[in-house]
Amino acid sequence: QKEVEQDPGPLSVPEGAIVSLNCTYSNSAFQYFMWYRQYSRKGPELLMYTYSSGNKEDGRFTAQVDKSSKYISLFIRDSQPSDSATYLCAMTPEYGNKLVFGAGTILRVKS
Amino acid sequence: GAVVSQHPSWVICKSGTSVKIECRSLDFQATTMFWYRQFPKQSLMLMATSNEGSKATYEQGVEKDKFLINHASLTLSTLTVTSAHPEDSSFYICSASPVRTYGYTFGSGTRLTVV
């Protein structure tokens, strides 16, 4: 079993839809959680960063962490075709240590 | 803020030659940088952790003598692919972890093609 599980998709939604992306993990020591967006042939772009449990909102993006369930989510509101990309979750037990990544979910937003 | 600059963005080299990739933290000091390799349609694979002023820590299965990492200053880490072969062709990405409030940031990646 992988430390971090993420459905690779692809997930296809119409423009304007609310997108829900999720990851589950097995290591209860994880405390720092990140979501990245990666376009083809580009480096990952940090979208959201959260510490421990709770919610965080930034524009159209909301990140949720439920440590009791070992489950994290990223919500994208009013999705746009430009949001079409691969979304990666990543986490680490101590800040500065190496990240453990999910497999990435391919998102396609159709206009 | 917290920008990581990576160069070159793409490079083509002949088999048997060496290629150096640079990763710079532009507006913060990075005592630790990470080097990844990514194959098409796959997630990132950590190759090594680069520590300023000391030897890099390589992940299991990564050849230390082929992938030389140097982290000589708090803003620069380099990855040198030595005696490159076609199977080394890949997308290489570096990352650093700025202050605790920010999250890890990545470079734009280097596409290496060995012919």
Structure tokens at A10: 């692809």
Residue B100, pLDDT above cutoff 80: no
Residue B46 and residue B50: Cα distance in Å, rounded? Answer: 11
pLDDT digits (tens, 9 = 90+) for A20-52: 999 999 999 999 999 999 999 999 999 999 999
User: How many angstroms away from the CA of B93 is the closest CA of chain A?
Assistant: 7
pLDDT of residue B99: 78
Q: Chain A residues with CB inside 8 Å of B43's CB?
A: 88, 101-104
Average pLDDT, chain A: 96
Spatial CA neighbour of A27 closest among A97, A87, A105, A88? A97
Q: Which residues pair with A45 in a beta bridge?
A: A37
CB contact under 8 A, B6 and A43: yes
Interface test with A, best of B43, B102, B105 (most A CBs within 10 A): B43
Interface test with B, best of A41, A74, A89 (most B CBs within 10 A): A41
State the average pLDDT over residues A62-91: 97
Q: CA-CA distances (angstroms) from residue B109 to A7, A59, B5?
A: 24, 26, 9
Structure tokens at A83: 């949001």
User: E-strand spans in chain A?
Assistant: 4-5, 11-14, 19-25, 32-38, 45-51, 54-58, 61-66, 71-76, 85-92, 100-101, 105-110
Residue A78, pLDDT above cutoff 90: yes
DSSP letters along chain B, please? ---EEEE-SEEEE-TT--EEEEEEESSS--SEEEEEEE-TTS--EEEEEEETTSPPEEPTT--TTTEEEEEEETTEEEEEE-S--GGG-EEEEEEE--STTT--EE---EEEEE-
3-state secondary structure of A13: strand
Q: Which amino acid is at B81?
A: V
**Of B42, B46, B106, Cβ closest to residue A44:** B106
Residue B53, pLDDT above cutoff 90: no
Q: Where do we find the tokens 């979304």?
A: A87
